Amino acid sequence: MEYSFYDLLQLIGSLGLFLYGMKIMSEALQKVAGNKLRSVLTAMTTNRFTGVLTGMFITALIQSSSATTVMVVSFVNAGLLTLAESISVIMGANIGTTVTAWIISIFGFKVDMASLSLPLLGFAIPLMFSSKSKRKSIGEFIFGFAFLFMGLALLKSNAPDLEQNPEMLAFVQKYTDMGFGSILLFLFIGTVLTMIVQASAATMAITLIMCANGWISLELGAALVMGENIGTTITANLAALTANTQAKRAAFAHFLFNALGVIWVLIIFHPFINLVTWIVDTFFYTDDSAVIMSYKLSAFHSLFNICNVCFLVGFVKQIEKLAQRIIKMTAEDEEPRLRYITGGMLSTAELSILQAKKEISLFAKRIHRMYGMVEDLLHIKNDDEFNKVFSRIEKYESISDNMEIEIADYLNRVSEGRLSSESKLKIRAMLREVTEIESIGDSCYNLARIIDRKRQTGQDFVDKQYDHIHFMMRLTRDALDQMLFILDQGEVKNTDANKSFNIEHEINNYRNQLKSQNILDVNNKEYDYQMGVYYMDIIIECEKLGDYVVNVVEASTGVLDTQN
């Protein structure tokens, strides 16, 4: 046998080059169209048909059904998509991924793209070193495109020659003469291989080469393709492991949809293959048998997924109900947790930013709720009720510490991906937002502790002090309300930021005014010195809280408070 271990390593290396090219190309496209993909995915899923078109469009664009489905699972986890909407998008992704097979068939077998790979790399390198992020991403796309076809050419040239290695041919043929059993076996092989490689494009390329070289028949190649459709669902299910129940259901629905498609095609397998053969023989004219075989396999892949979507798109509600019946809601879903991001697999670096932004907005809303508890605490007289509210504030403070760490950790992992320069700046600003919001939580807890210490003395503030505290707390609440408004907006005007700055200046001026007034009031014996200390501690802590709010606004808007 002439095929050595060194030859095998060359084959594996060729596959690695192909996968690397696919990864670089997909990530570059996501960077170019990142913001548009976010808006398209959340806006174009009004019904099942627009959902299918959206999934098809995005997958054809980024050349990765795995990226689309992981993104969809993440968005379901974030509550941006419903389960029914996610199923239709996943259906579309299955059609979009068939574009890859046609690209490989047309350019990889009919056109000698390998000879153009080096010139393409030469064209891409200057673009990759451009200072403009969009131009840089286009260079990376061309770079990945060249690597992809270089890897495909090496895969073809390093594949073993079965005529010179009859032992290998005998091994392959041993499992190809079992009738329908061979089809089921190759379906299983395609599933396992795709689960291991986690890239259906790579296993599709291998299948195309095997069929084009005549190692296996069209029927067995089709069986491998159906197995790849099931195997590719593993990525989304891995992404859903640490997600909520709805996200797990979306990932399971992806598996369910692909598995149901395989079942009905197996029932009419041979007539379906005959239909594909007739279509290719009728509409494609070429004398190259390898090209014809690759066209037939690509046509099977497309027709299989298109028919599957047409057949099952009317049963989205039923698939949704089946997924809900199999994967039950757990008690864990009711516990306080991060809602929009998870500790598992990221969707894609660019698209993860939206989820983090939503989580930061939710973080701010929880801190706002915590401040409301502090306002209530100031007037509670009953001991049991006071202790209950104080314990809740303590719990919220602990939750805010954990949320800061988890969101910051998530953003750091996102920043390790391939990001545009604009996205890197966004992440830096978001990390600052998270830190400052946690500081607001600390201030709320400090206010609660001051109120608790004052209460333990058995004394109370006079009406005049309460009036000033109420006014200061109302200003602080206005600052928090404006901060939430800014965090919830997609695009913020300078006037919105300036409104926050004006409130903060008012807080500062009021603090200075009360400082001077407090000294006079203590000297005039309107209240004792100790009550004056607690009173000013509350005023000063509110002013600090206002400073943290302004820091969040500056990070979120990029507008600086020039008067400070």
Q: Is the pLDDT of residue 50 over 50?
A: yes
Whether residue 562 is contained in a domain is answered as: no
User: Which of 297, 331, 365 delimits the end of a domain?
Assistant: 331
Query: Which residue, among 452, 283, 274, has the nearest Cα to 380 in the 3D structure?
Result: 452
The model's pLDDT over 220-236, given as tens digits with 9 standing for 90+, comes to 888 888 888 888 777 67
Q: Are residues 454 and 535 in the same domain?
A: yes
The model's pLDDT over 283-309, given as tens digits with 9 standing for 90+, comes to 777 667 777 888 888 888 888 888 888
At residue 368 the predicted structure's pLDDT band, cuts being 50, 70 and 90, is very high
Q: How far apart are CA 451 and CA 92, in angstroms?
A: 57
Q: Is the pLDDT of residue 534 over 80?
A: yes
DSSP string, 132-157: SHHHHHHHHHHHHHHHHHHHHHHHHH
Q: Are residues 170 and 271 in the same domain?
A: yes
- pLDDT at residue number 261: 87
User: Which of 276, 303, 331 delimits the end of a domain?
Assistant: 331
Q: Are residues 258 and 376 in the same domain?
A: no
- pLDDT at residue number 169: 46
Quote the number of domains for the chain.
Answer: 2
Q: Are residues 60 and 179 in the same domain?
A: yes
At residue 332 the predicted structure's pLDDT band, cuts being 50, 70 and 90, is very low
Average pLDDT (237-247) is 69
Q: How far apart are CA 458 and CA 390, in angstroms?
A: 17
Whether residue 461 is contained in a domain is answered as: yes
Q: Are residues 317 and 356 in the same domain?
A: no
Q: Is this structure's pTM higher than 0.75?
A: no
Contacting residues for 483 by C-beta, under 8 A, at least 6 apart: 364, 500, 549, 552, 553
Query: Are 17 and 152 a contacting pair, CB within 8 Å?
Result: no
- In this structure, what CATH number is given to the domain that contains residue 504? 1.20.58.220
Q: Are residues 301 and 366 in the same domain?
A: no
Q: Is the pLDDT of residue 349 over 90?
A: no
Query: Are 440 and 549 a contacting pair, CB within 8 Å?
Result: yes
Q: Are residues 222 and 353 in the same domain?
A: no
User: Who wins on pLDDT, 387 or 490?
Assistant: 387
Percent of the chain having pLDDT more than 70?
77
The model's pLDDT over 108-140, given as tens digits with 9 standing for 90+, comes to 655 555 567 778 888 888 888 877 777 888 888
Q: Are residues 353 and 326 in the same domain?
A: no
- pLDDT at residue number 371: 94
Torsional sign, CA 100, 106, 110, 113: negative
Q: Are residues 82 and 19 in the same domain?
A: yes
Whether residue 215 is contained in a domain is answered as: yes
Q: Are residues 377 and 437 in the same domain?
A: yes
Length of the chain: 564
Average pLDDT (164-176) is 55
Whether residue 342 is contained in a domain is answered as: no
**CA angle 226-98-193, nearest 5°?**
40
Query: Are 472 and 542 a contacting pair, CB within 8 Å?
Result: yes
Q: Say what the alpha-carbon torsion angle 406, 410, 413, 418 is, to the nearest 10 degrees.
A: -170
The token pair that represents 24 in the structure block: 């670089």
Q: Are residues 380 and 527 in the same domain?
A: yes
Tally Cβ neighbours within 10 Å of residue 389: 17
Binning the chain into helix, strand and coil, the percentages to the nearest 5 are: 80, 0, 20
- pLDDT at residue number 445: 94
Query: HSE-up of 271 (CA within 13 Å, CB side)?
Result: 4
Query: Are 553 and 483 a contacting pair, CB within 8 Å?
Result: yes
- pLDDT at residue number 246: 75
Helices (H), 489-528: 494-523
Whole domain around residue 485: which residue ranges? 349-557
| Counts for the chain of helices (H) and strands (E), in that order | 22, 0
The amino acid that residue 463 corresponds to is: D
What is the residue-averaged pLDDT of the chain?
Answer: 79
The model's pLDDT over 133-152, given as tens digits with 9 standing for 90+, comes to 778 888 887 888 787 777 76
Whether residue 314 is contained in a domain is answered as: yes
Report helix, strand or coil for 407: helix
Whether residue 19 is contained in a domain is answered as: yes
User: Which of 305, 331, 357 delimits the end of a domain?
Assistant: 331
Q: Are residues 430 and 308 in the same domain?
A: no
Residue 207, classified by CB atoms within 10 Å of its CB into exposed (0-12), middle (13-18) or buried (19+), is: buried
Among the residue ranges 80-84, 254-258, 520-524, the one predicted with the least confidence is 80-84
Helix axes 65-77, 83-96, angle to 10 degrees: 170
Block residue for tokens 């369910």: 256
Whether residue 564 is contained in a domain is answered as: no
Whether residue 337 is contained in a domain is answered as: no
391-426 residues labelled b (16+ CB within 10 A) or e (exposed): ebbeebbebbeebbebbbebbeebbeebbbeebeeb
